[in-house]
Amino acid sequence: MKEKQETDAFENVKDQIGFCGIWCGSCVVGNGVLRELTKRYKELINAYDLKDWAPKDFDFGEFYKGLESIQSMSLCPGCLKGGGRDDCEIRACATEKGLEDCTLCKQFGRCKLELLEYMRSGARKAGLFVKNQDEDRREAVQRWMSELQAKWPCCILFTSDKP
Ligand code: SF4
Ligand code: SF4
Protein backbone atom coordinates (compact mmCIF):
# COMPACT_ATOMS: atom_id res chain seq x y z
CA MET A 1 0.00 0.00 0.00
CA LYS A 2 1.28 3.46 -0.83
CA GLU A 3 2.40 5.50 2.14
CA LYS A 4 0.18 8.56 2.70
CA GLN A 5 3.20 10.71 3.51
CA GLU A 6 4.77 9.93 0.14
CA THR A 7 1.50 10.48 -1.70
CA ASP A 8 1.33 13.91 -0.05
CA ALA A 9 4.91 14.57 -1.15
CA PHE A 10 4.02 13.99 -4.77
CA GLU A 11 0.87 16.08 -4.50
CA ASN A 12 2.99 18.93 -3.12
CA VAL A 13 5.44 19.00 -6.04
CA LYS A 14 3.37 17.82 -8.98
CA ASP A 15 2.29 21.32 -10.06
CA GLN A 16 5.66 22.93 -9.50
CA ILE A 17 7.93 23.73 -12.43
CA GLY A 18 11.11 25.58 -11.52
CA PHE A 19 12.06 28.85 -13.22
CA CYS A 20 14.65 26.91 -15.22
CA GLY A 21 11.95 24.53 -16.51
CA ILE A 22 12.71 21.49 -14.33
CA TRP A 23 9.55 19.69 -13.20
CA CYS A 24 9.74 19.12 -9.45
CA GLY A 25 7.18 16.32 -9.76
CA SER A 26 9.82 14.20 -11.48
CA CYS A 27 12.50 14.76 -8.82
CA VAL A 28 12.91 11.81 -6.48
CA VAL A 29 14.11 14.03 -3.62
CA GLY A 30 10.80 15.91 -3.58
CA ASN A 31 8.27 13.40 -4.85
CA GLY A 32 8.99 10.83 -2.15
CA VAL A 33 10.46 8.11 -4.35
CA LEU A 34 14.01 8.21 -2.98
CA ARG A 35 12.88 7.92 0.62
CA GLU A 36 10.31 5.22 -0.05
CA LEU A 37 12.62 3.15 -2.23
CA THR A 38 15.33 3.33 0.43
CA LYS A 39 12.85 2.24 3.09
CA ARG A 40 11.72 -0.72 1.01
CA TYR A 41 15.28 -1.64 0.13
CA LYS A 42 16.17 -1.68 3.83
CA GLU A 43 13.14 -3.84 4.62
CA LEU A 44 14.21 -6.29 1.92
CA ILE A 45 17.75 -6.43 3.26
CA ASN A 46 16.40 -7.15 6.75
CA ALA A 47 13.96 -9.78 5.52
CA TYR A 48 16.80 -11.63 3.78
CA ASP A 49 19.27 -11.20 6.66
CA LEU A 50 21.76 -9.89 4.16
CA LYS A 51 24.22 -8.86 6.87
CA ASP A 52 24.97 -12.58 7.33
CA TRP A 53 25.70 -12.94 3.63
CA ALA A 54 27.75 -9.81 3.09
CA PRO A 55 31.47 -10.23 2.31
CA LYS A 56 33.65 -10.01 5.43
CA ASP A 57 35.30 -6.77 4.32
CA PHE A 58 31.98 -5.06 3.72
CA ASP A 59 31.09 -2.58 6.46
CA PHE A 60 27.44 -3.45 6.81
CA GLY A 61 26.96 -1.13 9.82
CA GLU A 62 28.10 1.93 7.84
CA PHE A 63 26.05 0.88 4.85
CA TYR A 64 22.99 0.52 7.06
CA LYS A 65 23.63 3.92 8.64
CA GLY A 66 23.73 5.42 5.13
CA LEU A 67 20.34 3.95 4.31
CA GLU A 68 18.90 5.36 7.52
CA SER A 69 20.44 8.72 6.84
CA ILE A 70 18.82 8.91 3.38
CA GLN A 71 15.45 8.07 4.94
CA SER A 72 15.78 10.84 7.48
CA MET A 73 16.48 13.49 4.83
CA SER A 74 13.73 16.09 4.57
CA LEU A 75 11.59 16.01 1.48
CA CYS A 76 12.37 18.91 -0.84
CA PRO A 77 9.37 21.29 -0.82
CA GLY A 78 9.87 22.14 -4.51
CA CYS A 79 11.47 25.09 -6.30
CA LEU A 80 8.49 27.44 -5.98
CA LYS A 81 8.35 26.83 -2.23
CA GLY A 82 12.03 27.51 -1.63
CA GLY A 83 13.42 24.02 -2.31
CA GLY A 84 15.97 22.96 -4.90
CA ARG A 85 19.36 24.67 -4.94
CA ASP A 86 20.02 26.90 -1.95
CA ASP A 87 20.51 30.49 -3.11
CA CYS A 88 19.75 29.57 -6.72
CA GLU A 89 20.82 32.47 -8.98
CA ILE A 90 18.27 31.47 -11.63
CA ARG A 91 15.36 31.62 -9.18
CA ALA A 92 16.57 34.89 -7.66
CA CYS A 93 17.00 36.56 -11.05
CA ALA A 94 13.68 35.38 -12.54
CA THR A 95 11.82 36.37 -9.36
CA GLU A 96 13.37 39.83 -9.47
CA LYS A 97 12.30 40.20 -13.11
CA GLY A 98 8.79 38.99 -12.29
CA LEU A 99 9.08 36.02 -14.67
CA GLU A 100 7.71 32.57 -13.91
CA ASP A 101 9.85 30.99 -16.59
CA CYS A 102 13.33 31.82 -17.90
CA THR A 103 12.30 30.94 -21.46
CA LEU A 104 10.24 34.16 -21.41
CA CYS A 105 13.33 36.25 -20.67
CA LYS A 106 14.69 38.49 -23.43
CA GLN A 107 18.11 38.74 -21.86
CA PHE A 108 20.80 36.53 -23.32
CA GLY A 109 23.69 36.39 -20.92
CA ARG A 110 25.88 33.93 -19.08
CA CYS A 111 22.84 32.33 -17.45
CA LYS A 112 21.37 31.25 -20.80
CA LEU A 113 24.70 30.22 -22.25
CA GLU A 114 25.98 28.30 -19.27
CA LEU A 115 24.02 27.99 -16.08
CA LEU A 116 20.55 27.31 -17.42
CA GLU A 117 21.74 24.78 -19.94
CA TYR A 118 23.93 23.13 -17.34
CA MET A 119 20.98 22.70 -14.97
CA ARG A 120 18.56 21.60 -17.68
CA SER A 121 20.85 19.06 -19.33
CA GLY A 122 22.00 17.73 -15.93
CA ALA A 123 18.38 17.26 -14.89
CA ARG A 124 17.52 15.45 -18.13
CA LYS A 125 20.52 13.18 -17.68
CA ALA A 126 19.22 12.27 -14.20
CA GLY A 127 15.82 11.39 -15.67
CA LEU A 128 13.92 14.52 -14.66
CA PHE A 129 11.46 16.18 -17.02
CA VAL A 130 12.23 19.65 -18.32
CA LYS A 131 9.84 22.10 -19.96
CA ASN A 132 10.64 23.35 -23.45
CA GLN A 133 10.17 26.90 -24.64
CA ASP A 134 6.55 27.82 -25.46
CA GLU A 135 5.25 24.58 -23.92
CA ASP A 136 2.01 25.07 -21.99
CA ARG A 137 2.69 24.39 -18.32
CA ARG A 138 -0.60 22.68 -17.54
CA GLU A 139 -0.47 20.48 -20.65
CA ALA A 140 3.15 19.60 -19.94
CA VAL A 141 2.34 18.47 -16.38
CA GLN A 142 -0.55 16.31 -17.63
CA ARG A 143 1.61 14.68 -20.28
CA TRP A 144 4.48 14.16 -17.84
CA MET A 145 2.15 12.54 -15.30
CA SER A 146 1.24 9.76 -17.70
CA GLU A 147 4.82 9.44 -18.97
CA LEU A 148 6.02 9.11 -15.40
CA GLN A 149 3.46 6.43 -14.62
CA ALA A 150 4.62 4.46 -17.66
CA LYS A 151 8.27 5.00 -16.75
CA TRP A 152 8.01 4.26 -13.04
CA PRO A 153 5.76 1.41 -11.95
CA CYS A 154 2.95 2.41 -9.57
CA CYS A 155 4.76 0.78 -6.66
CA ILE A 156 7.36 3.53 -6.70
CA LEU A 157 5.30 6.43 -8.02
CA PHE A 158 3.23 7.72 -5.16
CA THR A 159 0.38 9.43 -6.92
CA SER A 160 -3.06 9.39 -5.35
CA ASP A 161 -4.56 8.35 -8.70
CA LYS A 162 -4.59 4.82 -9.95
CA PRO A 163 -2.18 4.26 -12.87
S1 SF4 B 1 16.13 25.90 -7.56
FE2 SF4 B 1 16.98 26.84 -9.44
S3 SF4 B 1 17.87 25.12 -10.61
FE4 SF4 B 1 16.47 24.25 -9.07
S5 SF4 B 1 14.47 24.01 -10.11
FE6 SF4 B 1 14.50 26.03 -9.10
S7 SF4 B 1 15.22 27.48 -10.66
FE8 SF4 B 1 15.76 25.42 -11.34
S1 SF4 C 1 18.51 36.65 -16.96
FE2 SF4 C 1 16.60 35.75 -17.64
S3 SF4 C 1 17.16 33.68 -18.36
FE4 SF4 C 1 18.81 34.41 -17.03
S5 SF4 C 1 18.32 33.62 -14.98
FE6 SF4 C 1 17.49 35.70 -15.17
S7 SF4 C 1 15.37 35.43 -15.81
FE8 SF4 C 1 16.46 33.51 -16.20
For residue 86, being part of any structural domain is answered with yes
**Over the stretch 103-126, which tens digit does the pLDDT of each residue have?**
888 887 778 778 999 999 999 999
Q: Report residue 147's pLDDT band, with 50, 70 and 90 as the boundaries.
A: confident
Q: What does the alpha-carbon distance between residue 90 and residue 106 come to, in Å, rounded to a whole number?
A: 14
The model carries a pTM of: 0.85
Atom index in ligand 2 nearest the CA of residue 111 equals 4
Output the CA 90–ligand 2 centroid distance in Å. Answer: 6
Contacts (Cβ under 8 Å, ≥6 apart) of 30: 9, 12, 13, 24, 75, 76, 77, 78, 83
Read off the amino acid at residue 92: A
- Position 41 in a domain: no
Would residue 117 count as lying in a domain?
yes
Pure H helices in the chain: 4-13, 33-47, 60-72, 89-97, 110, 116-125, 137-151
Total domain count, the chain: 1
What's the rounded mean pLDDT across residues 31-42? 90
* Domain presence at residue 8: yes
Which residue range(s) make up the domain with 139? 4-32+75-151
Nearby residues of 57 by Cβ (< 8 Å), 6 or more positions away: none
Q: Is 17 exposed, middle or buried (0-12, 13-18, 19+ CB in 10 A)?
A: buried
Residue 130 β-bridge partners: 22
Q: Name, in order, each residue with C-beta under 8 angstroms of 1's C-beta and a sequence gap of 6 or more.
A: none
Q: Which atom of ligand 1 is nearest to the CA of 24?
A: 5
Average the pLDDT over 11-19 and give the result. Answer: 95
Q: What does the alpha-carbon distance between residue 81 and residue 14 come to, in Å, rounded to a whole number?
A: 12
> Ligand 1 pocket test: which of 17, 81, 88, 95 has the largest number of ligand atoms within 8 Å of its C-beta?
88
